[in-house]
């Protein structure tokens, strides 16, 4: 799953234009926007369906002692120099920075702030292919053009899998190319179309009324009217077309990365890592560059969990006494199973109590290595929090790896799978992009328009289950910090049992069919993660345990 992020309104505009081409124009409502920090607000006090972190600190936890908790963030990298993360980054005090020696003998040289599993002596992996692309390439070499009748019996299952992969890959690769071509042309023509219509109508400032008066049958004029009209409708009558063209470069870059890297069967950046790729349990490969080339996603995740609550800057993180262990294993493209397995093991071996995993993909060819790492974390009492994914799908019926399910009958006991909710309590309560599942997704947490830290001391709002997972990790860290006597099993149980439930809340089911369902049907608990209720329950459990 690509981690490259497109700013909110640009993504809306891209989707609106694409929908209009398909004959289904959807209008964006930019007037109904939440408070910047709705994530930590309270549904009663603030009328926002946040996790009530601010209320929790002001009442239940005021003047209470707490213990430091280490949260590993396996992601694209983190800007450890961000102003709002100072004092919040884990430091390996047993490692002397920059001396080129593995001082603590953990197998990783100079891992002062964490580790980068997608880098090496000669640089870092930036983009990578999708797992689907890698599997397609491998199987194509073996089965492309092979007569099914000539496939040996022992290879029948693999051949059937090849047909499935081929059916999945080739249309999506073609669509990516078409989208790239379309948006490239759109980006190039936005200003030209606006200027063309100004000249055609002989006006200084173009308006929607002017567009309605156009009766030309010229295809170029009609195309210009359609695109300019869409922009006016969704950005406003004072739209700056030059600025929009500049912003649309984000979208062109996004689709360009899909064509040039994600679906490109000839692209392989693994040379930078220079590992023995077939050795799934190899230790020590990578480097100590925990920022990487674009730590936007990981920095945003880290801020949600642990941004300073008492410095008057930017935002308030959810927990006030946590450190972020930075583990870079997620490129622009799909993460690799070997790297994720080793990242989890690194986190556990180096003292992380919680591991946040805001990534996912549809195929997992080395799932056994990841499962082994998850079982290791389970045996050590480390909580794993995973984003449910942004494909608007029921993942009871599909796949979103890594997964808590070892097999059909065996499930990891230390795993939380989290979907994304929004700030209101109406039919749009669930993020339209969020995956869901009555058996697979444990609960929902805020994941729409979440404002948090981004590189170079900046702050932005992003959407995604990638934001909902760290919201949950933050609540888990809060519980472990103030109630260190609780086991990981108790923490997980409290988080789920204390999630806020709703009576007969009808919401739009994620996806395009527009159907409404009861919110209870979208997750195991039918609830939203809530810090206040979790702390109330933790206090009760802790008191009973002490007695």
Is 10 inside any structural domain? no
Q: Are 287 and 244 members of one domain?
A: no
- Give me 4's structure tokens: 């490259």
Burial zone of 342 (CB within 10 Å; 0-12 exposed, 13-18 middle, 19+ buried): buried
Residue 210 vs residue 523, higher pLDDT: 523
Helix, strand, coil percent values for the chain (each to nearest 5):
40, 15, 45
Residues shown for the chain? 547
Range of the structural domain that residue 403 is part of: 32-128+267-528
Q: What angle separates helix 8-21 from helix 156-201, to the nearest 10 degrees?
A: 90
- Residue ending a domain, among 262, 297, 315, is 262
Q: Are 475 and 391 members of one domain?
A: yes
Burial zone of 137 (CB within 10 Å; 0-12 exposed, 13-18 middle, 19+ buried): middle
Q: Are 380 and 431 members of one domain?
A: yes
DSSP state at residue 543: H
Is 5 inside any structural domain? no
| Top mean-pLDDT range of 56-60, 190-194, 509-513 | 56-60
Check if the beta carbon of residue 491 is closer than 8 Å to that of residue 541: no
Q: Are 237 and 290 members of one domain?
A: no
Tell me how far apart the alpha carbons of residues 117 and 535 are, in angstroms, rounded to a whole number. Answer: 36
- Residue ending a domain, among 262, 290, 314, is 262
Other C-beta atoms closer than 10 Å to the C-beta of 482 total 23
Q: Are 275 and 176 members of one domain?
A: no
Q: Are 199 and 342 members of one domain?
A: no
At residue 231, the pLDDT reads 84
Is 489 inside any structural domain? yes
Q: Are 274 and 385 members of one domain?
A: yes
Q: Is the dihedral of CA 279, 357, 127, 169 positive or negative?
A: positive
Is 511 inside any structural domain? yes
Confidence of residue 169 (pLDDT cuts 50, 70, 90): very high
Tell me how far apart the alpha carbons of residues 141 and 135 are, in angstroms, rounded to a whole number. Answer: 10
Is 9 inside any structural domain? no
Is 543 inside any structural domain? no
Is 326 inside any structural domain? yes
Closest by Cα among 74, 79, 256, 280 to 176: 256
- Give me 379's structure tokens: 């045996």
Q: Are 452 and 345 members of one domain?
A: yes
Other C-beta atoms closer than 10 Å to the C-beta of 231 total 20
Q: Are 54 and 146 members of one domain?
A: no
Residue 396 vs residue 23, higher pLDDT: 396
Check if the beta carbon of residue 76 is closer than 8 Å to that of residue 292: yes
Q: Are 327 and 216 members of one domain?
A: no
Tell me how far apart the alpha carbons of residues 526 and 425 are, in angstroms, rounded to a whole number. Answer: 14
- Residue ending a domain, among 262, 292, 324, is 262
| Count of structural domains within the chain | 2
Per residue in 276-322, pLDDT (tens digit) is: 999 999 999 999 999 999 999 999 999 999 999 989 888 999 999 99
Q: Are 328 and 453 members of one domain?
A: yes
At residue 280, the pLDDT reads 95
Per residue in 329-352, pLDDT (tens digit) is: 999 999 999 999 999 999 999 999
CATH of the domain at 309: 3.40.50.200
- Over 359-403, what HEC string results? CCECCCCCHHHHHHHHHHHHHCCCEEEEECCCCCCECCCCCCECC
Is 372 inside any structural domain? yes
At residue 513, the pLDDT reads 83
Tokens 């149980």: give the residue: 493
Check if the beta carbon of residue 88 is closer than 8 Å to that of residue 323: yes
- Its pTM stands at 0.89
Q: What is the mean pLDDT of the chain?
A: 92
Q: Is 354 helix (H, G, I), strand (E, B) or coil?
A: strand
Q: Are 165 and 252 members of one domain?
A: yes
- Give me 524's structure tokens: 């195991």
């Amino acid at each position: 799953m690509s981690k490259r992020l497109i700013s909110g309104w640009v993504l809306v505009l891209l989707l609106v234009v694409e929908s209009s081409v398909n004959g289904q124009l959807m209008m964006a409502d930019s007037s109904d926007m939440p408070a910047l920090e709705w994530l930590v607000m309270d549904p009663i006090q603030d009328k926002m369906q946040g996790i009530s972190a601010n209320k929790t600190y002001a009442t239940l936890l005021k003047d209470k002692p707490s213990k430091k908790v280490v949260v590993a963030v396996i992601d694209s990298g983190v800007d450890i120099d961000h102003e709002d993360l100072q004092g919040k980054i884990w430091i390996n005090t047993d490692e002397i920075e920059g001396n080129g020696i593995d001082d603590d003998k953990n197998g990783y040289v100079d891992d002062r702030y964490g580790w980068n599993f997608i880098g090496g002596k000669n640089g870092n992996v930036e983009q990578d292919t999708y797992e689907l692309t890698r599997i397609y390439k491998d199987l194509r070499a073996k089965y492309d053009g092979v007569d099914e009748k000539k496939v040996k019996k022992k290879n029948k299952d693999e051949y059937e899998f090849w047909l499935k992969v081929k059916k999945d890959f080739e249309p999506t690769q073609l669509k990516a190319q078409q989208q790239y071509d379309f948006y490239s042309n759109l980006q190039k023509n936005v200003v030209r179309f606006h200027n063309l219509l100004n000249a055609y109508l002989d006006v200084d400032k173009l308006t929607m009324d002017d567009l309605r008066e156009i009766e030309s049958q010229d295809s170029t004029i009609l195309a210009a009217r359609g695109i300019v009209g869409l922009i006016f409708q969704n950005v406003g009558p004072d739209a700056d077309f030059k600025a929009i063209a500049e912003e649309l470069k984000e979208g062109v870059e996004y689709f360009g990365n899909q064509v040039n890297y994600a679906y490109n069967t000839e692209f392989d950046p693994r040379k930078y890592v220079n590992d023995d790729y077939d050795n799934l349990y190899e230790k020590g490969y990578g480097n100590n560059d925990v920022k990487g080339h674009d730590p936007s996603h990981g920095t945003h995740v880290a801020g949600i969990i642990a941004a300073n609550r008492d410095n008057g800057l930017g935002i308030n993180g959810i927990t006030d006494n946590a450190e972020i262990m930075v583990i870079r294993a997620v490129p622009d493209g799909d993460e690799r199973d070997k790297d994720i397995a080793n990242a989890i093991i690194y986190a556990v071996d180096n003292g992380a109590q919680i591991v946040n995993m805001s990534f996912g993909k549809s195929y997992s060819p080395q799932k056994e290595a990841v499962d082994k790492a998850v079982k290791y974390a389970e045996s050590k009492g480390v909580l794993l929090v995973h984003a449910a994914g942004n494909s608007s799908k029921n993942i009871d019926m599909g796949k979103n790896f890594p997964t808590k399910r070892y097999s059909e009958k065996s499930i990891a006991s230390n795993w939380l799978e989290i979907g994304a909710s929004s700030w209101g309590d109406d039919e749009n309560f669930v993020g339209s992009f969020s995956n869901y599942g009555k058996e697979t997704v444990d609960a929902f947490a805020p994941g729409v328009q979440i404002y948090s830290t981004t590189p170079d001391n900046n702050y932005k709002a992003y959407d995604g289950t990638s934001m909902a997972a760290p919201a949950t990790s933050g609540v888990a860290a809060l519980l472990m910090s103030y109630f260190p006597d609780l086991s990981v099993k108790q923490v997980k149980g409290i988080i789920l049992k204390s999630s806020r439930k709703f009576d007969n809340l009808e919401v739009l089911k994620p996806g395009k069919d527009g159907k409404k369902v009861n919110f209870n049907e979208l997750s195991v608990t039918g609830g939203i993660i809530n810090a206040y209720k979790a702390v109330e329950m933790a206090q009760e459990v802790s008191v009973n345990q002490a007695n």
